[in-house]
């Protein structure tokens, strides 16, 4: 199956929050009490019960006020740090690029949350499980588009084949740059290429996004260097013990208590059988 992509064109986003409502409705997530954070933003971060929300940034410069709005959710990375960090093998990536958590395997250790460069997964303190956007994998596998894409009225969200949609995203970028010269695509290369690719109107930092997201070095060292070496070392040590035992056995180094090395009959000092 060819990898899919969701193109989020922030130049078309009106901040209606229909995507948030659609996500909660489809995934049967309860509403949460919110309060004003800044501008029209009412959610500060993800929670185990809120997997997507809209950020609002007001930027006043050159006597002009700009609203930078972005739908926030899991990026579904091509090289997901959460998958590498998961100790219970609860996180996997589907053929079309969606990163999902198997709740039956999740032990709520929180390593996925600690290592995600975007701070997406959140652990439910009561259930001891990690939660995040699923990319509506259940809809996608049945030929439907993700709920957020389906409900987006301004057309800020588009779903399709990655290569074809990337080409459209680059065309749109060229158009937008006439008004926003600092506009760029975010997610084409980052983290191995993310499933959600954004057209940002300004630098990632304006949207409170890391400029160069990456898998933590400590996690890379653990997974790709220390762990494999440790496995080899433990295996080598075990093999050395086995070889030592066999060698000692062949040399007759093991005997019954009080008996001769060859297991024969004991003889007295005078040479008679005892």
**Residue ranges for the binding site for [4Fe-4S] cluster?**
13, 16, 19, 23, 74, 77, 82, 86, 106, 109, 112, 116, 133, 136, 148, 152
CA 178/CA 168 separation, integer angstroms: 16
CA 71/CA 54 separation, integer angstroms: 4
Residue written as token pair 């596998």: 141
CA 230/CA 233 separation, integer angstroms: 5
> CB burial class (10 A; 0-12, 13-18, 19+) of residue 206?
middle
User: Residues at the annotated binding site?
Assistant: 13, 16, 19, 23, 74, 77, 82, 86, 106, 109, 112, 116, 133, 136, 148, 152
Tokens of 201: 């109107």
User: Which residues are CB-contacts of 214 (< 8 A; sequence separation ≥ 6)?
Assistant: 117, 191
Contact 167, 188 (CB under 8 A): no
R_g of the chain, CA atoms, integer Å? 29
């Amino acid at each position: 199956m060819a990898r899919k992509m969701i193109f989020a064109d922030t130049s078309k986003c009106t901040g209606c929050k229909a995507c948030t409502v659609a996500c909660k409705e489809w995934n049967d997530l309860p509403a949460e009490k919110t309060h004003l954070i800044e501008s029209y933003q009412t959610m500060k971060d993800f929670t185990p019960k809120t997997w997507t929300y809209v950020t609002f940034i007001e930027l006043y410069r050159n006597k002009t006020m700009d609203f930078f709005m972005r739908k926030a959710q899991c990026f579904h990375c091509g090289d997901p740090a959460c998958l590498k960090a998961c100790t219970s093998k609860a996180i996997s990536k589907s053929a079309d690029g969606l990163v999902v958590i198997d709740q039956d395997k999740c032990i709520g250790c929180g390593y996925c949350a600690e290592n995600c460069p975007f701070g997406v997964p959140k652990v439910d303190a009561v259930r001891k499980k990690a939660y995040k956007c699923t990319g509506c994998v259940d809809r996608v596998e049945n030929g439907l588009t993700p709920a957020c894409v389906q409900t987006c009225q301004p057309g800020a969200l588009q779903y399709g084949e990655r290569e074809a949609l990337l080409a459209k995203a680059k065309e749109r970028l060229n158009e937008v740059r006439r008004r926003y010269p600092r506009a760029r695509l975010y997610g084409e290369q980052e983290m191995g290429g993310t499933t959600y690719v954004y057209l940002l109107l300004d630098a990632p930092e304006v949207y409170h996004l890391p400029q160069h997201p990456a898998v933590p070095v400590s996690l890379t060292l653990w997974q790709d260097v220390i762990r494999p070496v440790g496995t080899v070392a433990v295996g080598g040590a075990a093999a050395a013990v086995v070889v030592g035992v066999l060698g000692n056995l062949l040399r007759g180094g093991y005997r019954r208590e009080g008996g001769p090395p060859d297991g024969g009959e004991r003889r007295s000092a005078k040479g008679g059988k005892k």
